[in-house]
Protein backbone atom coordinates (compact mmCIF):
# COMPACT_ATOMS: atom_id res chain seq x y z
CA UNK A 1 0.00 0.00 0.00
CA UNK A 2 2.85 2.37 0.86
CA UNK A 3 4.55 1.68 -2.49
CA UNK A 4 1.36 2.44 -4.37
CA UNK A 5 0.79 5.66 -2.42
CA UNK A 6 4.36 6.81 -3.03
CA UNK A 7 4.10 6.02 -6.74
CA UNK A 8 0.79 7.87 -6.99
CA UNK A 9 2.35 10.91 -5.32
CA UNK A 10 5.30 10.78 -7.72
CA UNK A 11 3.05 10.52 -10.76
CA UNK A 12 0.86 13.37 -9.51
CA UNK A 13 3.93 15.58 -9.19
CA UNK A 14 5.06 14.55 -12.67
CA UNK A 15 1.65 15.47 -14.10
CA UNK A 16 1.82 18.85 -12.43
CA UNK A 17 5.32 19.49 -13.73
CA UNK A 18 4.34 18.39 -17.25
CA UNK A 19 1.37 20.78 -17.21
CA UNK A 20 3.61 23.60 -16.00
CA UNK A 21 6.15 22.87 -18.73
CA UNK A 22 3.47 22.95 -21.42
CA UNK A 23 2.10 26.23 -20.09
CA UNK A 24 5.58 27.74 -19.83
CA UNK A 25 6.65 26.61 -23.29
CA UNK A 26 3.43 28.09 -24.66
CA UNK A 27 4.27 31.46 -23.10
CA UNK A 28 1.50 31.35 -20.49
CA UNK A 29 3.68 31.79 -17.40
CA UNK A 30 4.77 35.33 -16.61
CA UNK A 31 7.74 34.00 -14.64
CA UNK A 32 9.04 32.29 -17.80
CA UNK A 33 8.76 34.74 -20.70
CA UNK A 34 10.81 32.64 -23.13
CA UNK A 35 9.16 29.75 -24.96
CA UNK A 36 12.38 27.69 -24.91
CA UNK A 37 13.63 26.92 -21.43
CA UNK A 38 17.18 25.79 -20.70
CA UNK A 39 18.39 24.25 -17.44
CA UNK A 40 22.14 23.90 -16.97
CA UNK A 41 22.90 20.90 -14.76
CA UNK A 42 25.38 21.83 -12.06
CA UNK A 43 25.07 25.45 -13.21
CA UNK A 44 27.58 24.76 -16.01
CA UNK A 45 26.38 26.50 -19.17
CA UNK A 46 26.56 24.86 -22.59
CA UNK A 47 28.70 23.85 -24.38
CA UNK A 48 30.86 22.99 -21.35
CA UNK A 49 28.03 21.63 -19.28
CA UNK A 50 25.02 19.43 -19.86
CA UNK A 51 21.70 21.15 -20.47
CA UNK A 52 18.07 20.15 -20.47
CA UNK A 53 15.98 21.99 -23.06
CA UNK A 54 12.20 22.25 -23.16
CA UNK A 55 10.11 23.66 -25.97
CA UNK A 56 6.50 22.99 -26.95
CA UNK A 57 7.27 19.65 -28.61
CA UNK A 58 9.38 18.34 -25.72
CA UNK A 59 6.76 19.45 -23.18
CA UNK A 60 4.02 17.71 -25.18
CA UNK A 61 5.97 14.45 -25.29
CA UNK A 62 6.67 14.60 -21.55
CA UNK A 63 2.95 15.07 -20.93
CA UNK A 64 2.06 12.10 -23.15
CA UNK A 65 4.56 9.85 -21.39
CA UNK A 66 3.28 10.89 -17.96
CA UNK A 67 -0.36 10.36 -18.93
CA UNK A 68 0.41 6.85 -20.21
CA UNK A 69 2.47 6.09 -17.13
CA UNK A 70 -0.38 7.16 -14.86
CA UNK A 71 -2.86 5.03 -16.79
CA UNK A 72 -0.53 2.01 -16.63
CA UNK A 73 -0.03 2.53 -12.89
CA UNK A 74 -3.79 2.61 -12.27
CA UNK A 75 -4.38 -0.48 -14.39
CA UNK A 76 -1.61 -2.42 -12.62
CA UNK A 77 -3.24 -1.92 -9.20
CA UNK A 78 -5.97 -4.45 -10.05
CA UNK A 79 -3.62 -7.43 -10.25
CA UNK A 80 -0.53 -6.91 -12.38
CA UNK A 81 1.60 -5.19 -9.75
CA UNK A 82 1.48 -8.46 -7.81
CA UNK A 83 2.25 -10.69 -10.82
CA UNK A 84 5.99 -9.98 -10.70
CA UNK A 85 8.55 -7.98 -8.81
CA UNK A 86 8.95 -4.22 -8.47
CA UNK A 87 6.53 -3.00 -11.12
CA UNK A 88 6.26 0.48 -9.60
CA UNK A 89 10.02 1.23 -9.54
CA UNK A 90 10.37 -0.13 -13.08
CA UNK A 91 7.58 2.15 -14.25
CA UNK A 92 9.27 5.15 -12.63
CA UNK A 93 12.60 4.33 -14.28
CA UNK A 94 10.79 3.95 -17.59
CA UNK A 95 9.29 7.42 -17.23
CA UNK A 96 12.63 8.84 -16.14
CA UNK A 97 14.27 7.57 -19.32
CA UNK A 98 11.42 8.80 -21.50
CA UNK A 99 11.29 12.27 -19.98
CA UNK A 100 15.07 12.63 -20.06
CA UNK A 101 15.23 11.61 -23.72
CA UNK A 102 12.64 14.26 -24.62
CA UNK A 103 14.34 17.02 -22.60
CA UNK A 104 18.06 16.51 -23.08
CA UNK A 105 20.04 18.83 -25.31
CA UNK A 106 23.15 16.65 -25.28
CA UNK A 107 23.78 13.66 -27.54
CA UNK A 108 25.63 11.56 -24.97
CA UNK A 109 22.93 12.12 -22.38
CA UNK A 110 20.39 11.12 -24.98
CA UNK A 111 22.29 7.81 -25.01
CA UNK A 112 22.20 7.68 -21.19
CA UNK A 113 18.47 8.29 -21.02
CA UNK A 114 17.92 5.78 -23.83
CA UNK A 115 19.71 3.18 -21.73
CA UNK A 116 17.66 3.99 -18.62
CA UNK A 117 14.50 3.71 -20.69
CA UNK A 118 15.61 0.47 -22.33
CA UNK A 119 16.84 -1.16 -19.10
CA UNK A 120 13.42 -0.60 -17.56
CA UNK A 121 11.67 -1.80 -20.72
CA UNK A 122 13.74 -5.02 -20.71
CA UNK A 123 12.47 -5.84 -17.23
CA UNK A 124 8.91 -4.83 -18.11
CA UNK A 125 9.00 -6.96 -21.28
CA UNK A 126 9.86 -10.00 -19.14
CA UNK A 127 7.50 -9.00 -16.33
CA UNK A 128 5.45 -11.95 -15.03
CA UNK A 129 7.38 -14.27 -17.37
CA UNK A 130 6.03 -17.08 -19.49
CA UNK A 131 7.58 -18.90 -22.45
CA UNK A 132 6.22 -16.59 -25.15
CA UNK A 133 7.14 -13.47 -23.17
CA UNK A 134 10.69 -14.68 -22.55
CA UNK A 135 11.31 -15.66 -26.18
CA UNK A 136 10.00 -12.36 -27.50
CA UNK A 137 11.79 -10.40 -24.79
CA UNK A 138 15.17 -11.93 -25.59
CA UNK A 139 14.86 -10.87 -29.24
CA UNK A 140 13.88 -7.39 -28.12
CA UNK A 141 16.85 -7.16 -25.76
CA UNK A 142 19.35 -8.47 -28.32
CA UNK A 143 18.32 -6.01 -31.04
CA UNK A 144 18.28 -3.02 -28.73
CA UNK A 145 21.64 -3.91 -27.18
CA UNK A 146 23.09 -3.90 -30.67
CA UNK A 147 21.47 -0.52 -31.25
CA UNK A 148 23.02 0.77 -28.03
CA UNK A 149 26.46 -0.31 -29.25
CA UNK A 150 25.90 1.56 -32.51
CA UNK A 151 24.80 4.63 -30.56
CA UNK A 152 27.90 4.63 -28.37
CA UNK A 153 30.27 4.23 -31.32
CA UNK A 154 28.46 6.94 -33.29
CA UNK A 155 28.56 9.36 -30.35
CA UNK A 156 32.29 8.73 -29.93
CA UNK A 157 32.88 9.45 -33.62
CA UNK A 158 30.84 12.65 -33.49
CA UNK A 159 32.74 13.89 -30.46
CA UNK A 160 36.10 12.98 -31.94
CA UNK A 161 35.30 14.88 -35.14
CA UNK A 162 33.45 17.93 -33.82
CA UNK A 163 34.68 18.25 -30.25
CA UNK A 164 31.12 18.54 -28.90
CA UNK A 165 28.02 16.49 -28.25
CA UNK A 166 25.78 19.48 -27.62
CA UNK A 167 23.03 19.34 -30.24
CA UNK A 168 22.85 23.12 -30.62
CA UNK A 169 26.56 23.32 -31.43
CA UNK A 170 26.68 20.51 -33.95
CA UNK A 171 25.43 22.43 -37.03
CA UNK A 172 28.21 25.03 -36.77
CA UNK A 173 30.92 22.46 -36.00
CA UNK A 174 29.91 20.21 -38.90
CA UNK A 175 30.22 23.09 -41.38
CA UNK A 176 33.84 23.55 -40.27
CA UNK A 177 34.87 19.94 -40.98
CA UNK A 178 37.30 19.08 -43.76
CA UNK A 179 36.06 16.91 -46.62
CA UNK A 180 37.48 13.65 -45.24
CA UNK A 181 36.17 14.36 -41.75
CA UNK A 182 32.81 15.26 -43.20
CA UNK A 183 32.51 11.84 -44.83
CA UNK A 184 33.33 10.22 -41.49
CA UNK A 185 30.72 12.39 -39.80
CA UNK A 186 28.15 11.26 -42.37
CA UNK A 187 28.99 7.67 -41.43
CA UNK A 188 28.49 8.46 -37.74
CA UNK A 189 25.20 10.19 -38.55
CA UNK A 190 24.08 7.12 -40.53
CA UNK A 191 24.82 4.94 -37.48
CA UNK A 192 22.80 7.31 -35.31
CA UNK A 193 20.00 7.17 -37.85
CA UNK A 194 19.98 3.37 -37.71
CA UNK A 195 19.70 3.52 -33.92
CA UNK A 196 16.80 5.96 -34.07
CA UNK A 197 15.07 3.92 -36.78
CA UNK A 198 15.35 0.81 -34.60
CA UNK A 199 13.70 2.71 -31.77
CA UNK A 200 11.07 4.06 -34.19
CA UNK A 201 10.24 0.51 -35.39
CA UNK A 202 10.98 1.37 -39.01
CA UNK A 203 11.23 -1.43 -41.55
CA UNK A 204 13.38 -3.57 -41.83
CA UNK A 205 14.51 -2.93 -38.25
CA UNK A 206 11.16 -3.66 -36.58
CA UNK A 207 10.92 -7.45 -36.74
CA UNK A 208 11.37 -7.64 -32.96
CA UNK A 209 8.38 -5.47 -32.10
CA UNK A 210 5.20 -7.50 -32.83
CA UNK A 211 6.05 -10.45 -30.59
CA UNK A 212 7.58 -8.30 -27.83
CA UNK A 213 4.66 -5.88 -27.61
CA UNK A 214 1.94 -8.50 -28.15
CA UNK A 215 3.20 -10.67 -25.27
CA UNK A 216 4.06 -7.87 -22.84
CA UNK A 217 2.01 -7.43 -19.68
CA UNK A 218 -0.92 -5.07 -20.47
CA UNK A 219 0.26 -2.08 -18.36
CA UNK A 220 3.75 -2.45 -19.81
CA UNK A 221 2.31 -2.59 -23.34
CA UNK A 222 0.41 0.62 -22.68
CA UNK A 223 3.64 2.45 -21.83
CA UNK A 224 5.41 0.83 -24.79
CA UNK A 225 2.94 2.63 -27.07
CA UNK A 226 5.15 5.73 -26.79
CA UNK A 227 8.58 4.05 -26.99
CA UNK A 228 8.68 4.07 -30.77
CA UNK A 229 7.88 7.79 -30.72
CA UNK A 230 11.16 8.40 -28.88
CA UNK A 231 13.03 7.32 -32.00
CA UNK A 232 10.83 9.51 -34.18
CA UNK A 233 11.36 12.45 -31.82
CA UNK A 234 15.14 11.97 -31.99
CA UNK A 235 15.08 11.79 -35.79
CA UNK A 236 12.97 14.92 -35.96
CA UNK A 237 15.06 16.89 -33.46
CA UNK A 238 18.43 15.98 -34.96
CA UNK A 239 17.11 16.25 -38.50
CA UNK A 240 15.84 19.82 -38.09
CA UNK A 241 19.12 20.93 -36.52
CA UNK A 242 21.22 19.37 -39.28
CA UNK A 243 18.91 20.50 -42.10
CA UNK A 244 19.28 24.14 -41.08
CA UNK A 245 22.49 24.58 -43.05
CA UNK A 246 21.79 21.91 -45.64
CA UNK A 247 24.08 19.38 -43.99
CA UNK A 248 21.60 16.64 -43.08
CA UNK A 249 22.98 13.25 -44.18
CA UNK A 250 20.89 10.12 -44.65
CA UNK A 251 18.63 9.09 -43.02
CA UNK A 252 17.84 12.54 -41.60
CA UNK A 253 16.91 14.09 -44.94
CA UNK A 254 13.36 14.12 -46.24
CA UNK A 255 13.48 11.49 -49.00
CA UNK A 256 14.98 8.86 -46.72
CA UNK A 257 12.36 9.41 -44.05
CA UNK A 258 9.55 9.44 -46.61
CA UNK A 259 10.37 6.15 -48.30
CA UNK A 260 11.37 4.45 -45.06
CA UNK A 261 8.06 5.49 -43.51
CA UNK A 262 6.09 4.45 -46.58
CA UNK A 263 7.63 0.97 -46.52
CA UNK A 264 6.96 0.72 -42.78
CA UNK A 265 3.28 1.56 -43.35
CA UNK A 266 3.09 -1.12 -46.05
CA UNK A 267 4.64 -3.82 -43.84
CA UNK A 268 2.53 -2.76 -40.88
CA UNK A 269 -0.61 -2.89 -43.00
CA UNK A 270 0.18 -6.45 -44.08
CA UNK A 271 0.78 -7.34 -40.43
CA UNK A 272 -2.58 -5.83 -39.46
CA UNK A 273 -4.35 -7.94 -42.10
CA UNK A 274 -2.56 -11.11 -41.04
CA UNK A 275 -3.12 -10.69 -37.27
CA UNK A 276 -5.22 -13.38 -35.67
CA UNK A 277 -4.96 -12.05 -32.12
CA UNK A 278 -5.70 -8.64 -30.71
CA UNK A 279 -2.27 -8.36 -29.10
CA UNK A 280 -0.43 -8.67 -32.40
CA UNK A 281 -2.97 -6.37 -34.03
CA UNK A 282 -2.19 -3.69 -31.42
CA UNK A 283 1.54 -4.13 -32.05
CA UNK A 284 1.13 -3.70 -35.80
CA UNK A 285 -0.99 -0.60 -35.23
CA UNK A 286 2.04 0.85 -33.44
CA UNK A 287 4.16 0.08 -36.51
CA UNK A 288 1.61 1.66 -38.85
CA UNK A 289 1.47 4.81 -36.74
CA UNK A 290 5.27 5.06 -36.70
CA UNK A 291 5.42 4.63 -40.46
CA UNK A 292 2.72 7.27 -40.93
CA UNK A 293 4.69 9.77 -38.87
CA UNK A 294 7.97 9.05 -40.66
CA UNK A 295 6.25 9.51 -44.02
CA UNK A 296 4.66 12.80 -42.93
CA UNK A 297 7.93 14.15 -41.55
CA UNK A 298 9.56 13.24 -44.85
CA UNK A 299 7.77 16.22 -46.38
CA UNK A 300 10.24 19.05 -45.78
CA UNK A 301 8.75 22.09 -44.09
CA UNK A 302 6.35 22.82 -41.28
CA UNK A 303 3.00 22.35 -43.01
CA UNK A 304 2.63 18.61 -42.24
CA UNK A 305 4.38 18.74 -38.88
CA UNK A 306 1.48 20.15 -36.84
CA UNK A 307 -1.10 17.64 -38.22
CA UNK A 308 1.45 14.87 -37.66
CA UNK A 309 1.82 15.93 -34.01
CA UNK A 310 -1.96 15.83 -33.65
CA UNK A 311 -2.01 12.33 -35.15
CA UNK A 312 0.91 11.26 -32.91
CA UNK A 313 -1.00 12.31 -29.79
CA UNK A 314 -4.17 10.50 -30.87
CA UNK A 315 -2.35 7.31 -31.89
CA UNK A 316 -0.35 7.12 -28.65
CA UNK A 317 -3.47 7.53 -26.51
CA UNK A 318 -5.44 5.09 -28.68
CA UNK A 319 -2.71 2.43 -28.70
CA UNK A 320 -2.22 2.76 -24.94
CA UNK A 321 -5.93 2.20 -24.33
CA UNK A 322 -6.03 -0.66 -26.83
CA UNK A 323 -3.18 -2.61 -25.20
CA UNK A 324 -5.03 -2.57 -21.88
CA UNK A 325 -8.36 -3.34 -23.50
CA UNK A 326 -6.93 -6.38 -25.32
CA UNK A 327 -6.17 -8.25 -22.11
CA UNK A 328 -9.64 -7.60 -20.71
CA UNK A 329 -11.43 -8.60 -23.92
CA UNK A 330 -9.50 -11.87 -24.29
CA UNK A 331 -9.36 -12.70 -20.62
CA UNK A 332 -9.60 -16.32 -19.58
CA UNK A 333 -9.92 -16.33 -15.84
CA UNK A 334 -8.41 -19.74 -15.26
CA UNK A 335 -5.33 -19.06 -17.35
CA UNK A 336 -4.77 -15.66 -15.74
CA UNK A 337 -5.12 -17.09 -12.23
CA UNK A 338 -2.67 -19.90 -13.00
CA UNK A 339 -0.18 -17.44 -14.46
CA UNK A 340 -0.40 -15.17 -11.43
CA UNK A 341 -0.13 -18.05 -8.99
CA UNK A 342 3.03 -19.39 -10.65
CA UNK A 343 4.58 -15.92 -10.76
CA UNK A 344 3.77 -15.12 -7.13
CA UNK A 345 5.15 -18.42 -5.85
CA UNK A 346 8.30 -18.08 -7.98
CA UNK A 347 9.09 -14.64 -6.56
CA UNK A 348 7.91 -15.46 -3.06
CA UNK A 349 5.62 -12.46 -2.87
CA UNK A 350 2.44 -14.20 -1.66
CA UNK A 351 0.90 -17.59 -1.72
CA UNK A 352 -1.57 -18.44 -4.43
CA UNK A 353 -4.38 -18.48 -1.85
CA UNK A 354 -3.48 -14.97 -0.68
CA UNK A 355 -3.28 -13.77 -4.27
CA UNK A 356 -6.77 -15.07 -4.97
CA UNK A 357 -8.08 -13.40 -1.83
CA UNK A 358 -6.48 -10.08 -2.69
CA UNK A 359 -7.92 -10.26 -6.20
CA UNK A 360 -11.38 -10.41 -4.69
CA UNK A 361 -10.65 -7.17 -2.80
CA UNK A 362 -9.17 -5.36 -5.81
CA UNK A 363 -12.48 -3.80 -6.81
CA UNK A 364 -16.16 -4.25 -7.45
CA UNK A 365 -17.25 -5.85 -10.74
CA UNK A 366 -18.64 -3.29 -13.16
CA UNK A 367 -22.17 -3.79 -14.47
CA UNK A 368 -22.75 -3.79 -18.20
CA UNK A 369 -19.21 -5.03 -18.80
CA UNK A 370 -19.96 -6.22 -22.30
CA UNK A 371 -21.34 -2.81 -23.27
CA UNK A 372 -18.28 -1.04 -21.91
CA UNK A 373 -15.87 -3.40 -23.68
CA UNK A 374 -17.75 -3.15 -26.97
CA UNK A 375 -17.95 0.64 -26.91
CA UNK A 376 -14.28 0.95 -25.93
CA UNK A 377 -13.31 -1.43 -28.71
CA UNK A 378 -15.22 0.63 -31.26
CA UNK A 379 -13.70 3.90 -30.04
CA UNK A 380 -10.18 2.45 -30.11
CA UNK A 381 -10.83 1.16 -33.61
CA UNK A 382 -12.03 4.57 -34.79
CA UNK A 383 -8.93 6.26 -33.36
CA UNK A 384 -6.42 3.76 -34.74
CA UNK A 385 -7.91 3.45 -38.21
CA UNK A 386 -8.54 7.16 -38.63
CA UNK A 387 -12.33 7.08 -38.97
CA UNK A 388 -14.59 10.02 -38.07
CA UNK A 389 -15.28 11.55 -35.71
CA UNK A 390 -12.32 10.55 -33.53
CA UNK A 391 -9.00 12.47 -33.52
CA UNK A 392 -7.20 9.89 -35.65
CA UNK A 393 -9.41 10.99 -38.54
CA UNK A 394 -8.77 14.67 -37.84
CA UNK A 395 -5.01 14.10 -37.81
CA UNK A 396 -5.02 12.02 -40.97
CA UNK A 397 -7.36 14.38 -42.81
CA UNK A 398 -5.21 17.37 -41.85
CA UNK A 399 -2.06 15.57 -43.02
CA UNK A 400 -3.65 14.66 -46.35
CA UNK A 401 -4.81 18.23 -46.89
CA UNK A 402 -1.42 19.64 -45.95
CA UNK A 403 0.38 17.25 -48.31
CA UNK A 404 -1.59 18.72 -51.21
CA UNK A 405 -0.41 22.20 -50.26
CA UNK A 406 3.08 21.42 -48.97
CA UNK A 407 5.78 24.07 -49.25
CA UNK A 408 8.04 23.55 -51.04
CA UNK A 409 5.61 21.74 -53.34
CA UNK A 410 5.93 17.98 -53.08
CA UNK A 411 5.89 15.88 -56.21
CA UNK A 412 2.57 14.43 -57.29
CA UNK A 413 4.16 11.01 -56.92
CA UNK A 414 4.94 11.61 -53.23
CA UNK A 415 1.49 13.00 -52.52
CA UNK A 416 -0.23 10.14 -54.34
CA UNK A 417 1.77 7.51 -52.46
CA UNK A 418 1.07 9.20 -49.16
CA UNK A 419 -2.69 9.37 -49.78
CA UNK A 420 -2.77 5.75 -50.93
CA UNK A 421 -0.85 4.62 -47.82
CA UNK A 422 -3.23 6.45 -45.47
CA UNK A 423 -6.36 5.09 -47.13
CA UNK A 424 -5.16 1.50 -47.50
CA UNK A 425 -3.78 1.27 -43.97
CA UNK A 426 -7.09 2.56 -42.60
CA UNK A 427 -9.05 0.06 -44.70
CA UNK A 428 -6.84 -2.79 -43.50
CA UNK A 429 -7.43 -1.74 -39.90
CA UNK A 430 -11.19 -1.74 -40.40
CA UNK A 431 -11.09 -5.23 -41.90
CA UNK A 432 -8.89 -6.66 -39.15
CA UNK A 433 -10.82 -5.05 -36.30
CA UNK A 434 -14.16 -6.17 -37.75
CA UNK A 435 -12.96 -9.74 -38.14
CA UNK A 436 -11.50 -10.04 -34.64
CA UNK A 437 -14.29 -8.02 -33.06
CA UNK A 438 -16.93 -10.37 -34.41
CA UNK A 439 -14.95 -13.36 -33.19
CA UNK A 440 -14.61 -11.97 -29.66
CA UNK A 441 -17.80 -10.01 -28.98
CA UNK A 442 -20.27 -12.16 -30.93
CA UNK A 443 -19.15 -15.42 -29.36
CA UNK A 444 -22.36 -16.37 -27.58
CA UNK A 445 -20.75 -19.27 -25.72
CA UNK A 446 -18.10 -17.08 -24.16
CA UNK A 447 -18.70 -15.76 -20.65
CA UNK A 448 -18.43 -12.02 -20.10
CA UNK A 449 -15.05 -11.35 -18.43
CA UNK A 450 -14.95 -9.96 -14.90
CA UNK A 451 -13.96 -6.29 -15.07
CA UNK A 452 -12.86 -4.01 -12.25
CA UNK A 453 -12.98 -0.26 -11.93
CA UNK A 454 -9.20 -0.06 -11.65
CA UNK A 455 -8.97 -1.68 -15.09
CA UNK A 456 -11.84 0.14 -16.78
CA UNK A 457 -10.87 3.57 -15.43
CA UNK A 458 -7.52 3.97 -17.27
CA UNK A 459 -9.02 2.77 -20.56
CA UNK A 460 -11.93 5.16 -20.22
CA UNK A 461 -9.63 8.04 -19.24
CA UNK A 462 -7.42 7.65 -22.32
CA UNK A 463 -10.46 7.42 -24.58
CA UNK A 464 -11.98 10.50 -22.94
CA UNK A 465 -8.78 12.38 -23.75
CA UNK A 466 -9.23 11.29 -27.37
CA UNK A 467 -12.80 12.57 -27.27
CA UNK A 468 -11.53 15.86 -25.82
CA UNK A 469 -9.18 16.20 -28.79
CA UNK A 470 -12.17 15.61 -31.06
CA UNK A 471 -14.26 18.27 -29.36
CA UNK A 472 -11.52 20.90 -29.22
CA UNK A 473 -9.31 20.23 -32.26
CA UNK A 474 -8.69 23.92 -32.95
CA UNK A 475 -7.07 24.49 -29.54
CA UNK A 476 -4.85 21.42 -29.91
CA UNK A 477 -3.94 22.24 -33.50
CA UNK A 478 -3.04 25.80 -32.48
CA UNK A 479 -0.57 24.42 -29.94
CA UNK A 480 0.85 21.92 -32.42
CA UNK A 481 1.21 24.60 -35.07
CA UNK A 482 3.21 26.76 -32.68
CA UNK A 483 5.29 23.72 -31.70
CA UNK A 484 5.97 23.00 -35.37
CA UNK A 485 7.19 26.52 -36.10
CA UNK A 486 9.34 26.53 -32.96
CA UNK A 487 10.86 23.18 -33.96
CA UNK A 488 12.00 24.53 -37.32
CA UNK A 489 13.19 27.83 -35.83
CA UNK A 490 16.64 26.36 -35.29
CA UNK A 491 18.22 29.77 -34.73
CA UNK A 492 16.03 30.37 -31.67
CA UNK A 493 16.93 26.93 -30.29
CA UNK A 494 20.66 27.55 -30.78
CA UNK A 495 20.44 31.00 -29.23
CA UNK A 496 18.55 29.70 -26.19
CA UNK A 497 21.13 26.96 -25.54
CA UNK A 498 24.34 28.77 -26.56
CA UNK A 499 23.59 32.51 -26.84
CA UNK A 500 27.27 33.39 -27.38
CA UNK A 501 27.52 30.94 -30.32
CA UNK A 502 24.34 31.90 -32.23
CA UNK A 503 24.69 33.88 -35.38
> Where residue 467 falls among pLDDT bands split at 50, 70, 90?
very high
**Which phi-psi region, left, alpha or beta, contains residue 32 (left: φ > 0; alpha: ψ -120 to 50)?**
beta
Task: Specify the pLDDT at position 24.
Answer: 84
Is 60 exceeded by the pLDDT of residue 340? no
pLDDT > 60? residue 341: no
Domain membership flag for residue 225: yes
The pLDDT mean for the chain works out to 80
When mean pLDDT is compared across 75-79, 376-380, 469-473, the lowest value belongs to 75-79
Read off the pLDDT of each residue in 244-258 and give the average, rounded to a whole number. 71
SS3 33: coil
pLDDT for residue 72 is more than 60: yes
The answer to whether position 445 is within a domain reads yes
Q: What is the DSSP string of 232-284?
A: HHHHHHHHHHHHTTT---TTSSHHHHHHHHHHHHHHHHHHHHH--SHHHHHHH
Q: What is the pTM of this model?
A: 0.84
Any domain includes 87 = yes
* Cα 143 from Cα 129, distance rounded (Å): 19
The pLDDT confidence band at residue 485, using thresholds 50, 70 and 90, is confident
Confidence of residue 32 (pLDDT cuts 50, 70, 90): low
The confidence score (pLDDT) of residue 259 equals 87
Q: How confident is the model at residue 358 (pLDDT cuts 50, 70, 90)?
A: very low
**Residue 125 forms part of a structural domain:** yes
Q: How many separate domains does the chain show?
A: 1
pLDDT tens for 151-200 read 999 989 988 888 888 888 888 888 888 888 888 888 888 888 888 898 88
The proportion of the chain whose per-residue pLDDT surpasses 70, expressed as a percent, equals 83
The pLDDT of residue 147 is above 50: yes
Domain assignment of residue 208, given as a range: 2-497
Q: Is residue 462 part of a domain?
A: yes
Cα–Cα dist 234/97, whole Å: 13
Judge whether 502 lies within some domain: no
Integer Cα distance of 64 and 313 in angstroms: 7
- Quick check: 411 pLDDT over 70? no
503 domain-assigned: no
What's the mean pLDDT in 201-226? Answer: 84
> Quick check: 499 and 73 in contact, CB under 8 A?
no
218 lies in a domain? yes
Query: Which pLDDT value is given to residue 337?
Result: 41
Amino acid sequence: MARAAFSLLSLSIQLGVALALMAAADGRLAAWPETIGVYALGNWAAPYGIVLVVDRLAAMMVMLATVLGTAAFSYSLARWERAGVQFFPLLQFQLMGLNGAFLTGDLFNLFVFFEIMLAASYALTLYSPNTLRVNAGLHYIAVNLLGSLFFLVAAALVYGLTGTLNMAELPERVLQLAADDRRLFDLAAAMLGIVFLIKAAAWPLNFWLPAAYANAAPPAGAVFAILTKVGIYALLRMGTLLQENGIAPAPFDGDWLFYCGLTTVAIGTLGVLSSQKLGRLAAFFVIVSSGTLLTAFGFIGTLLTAPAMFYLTASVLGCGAFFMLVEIAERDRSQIDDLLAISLEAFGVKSSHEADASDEDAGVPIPATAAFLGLSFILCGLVLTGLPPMPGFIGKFAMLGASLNSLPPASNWHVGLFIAAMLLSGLAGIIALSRLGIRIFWDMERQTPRLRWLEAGPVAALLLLCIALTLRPEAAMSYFSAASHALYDVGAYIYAVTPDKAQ
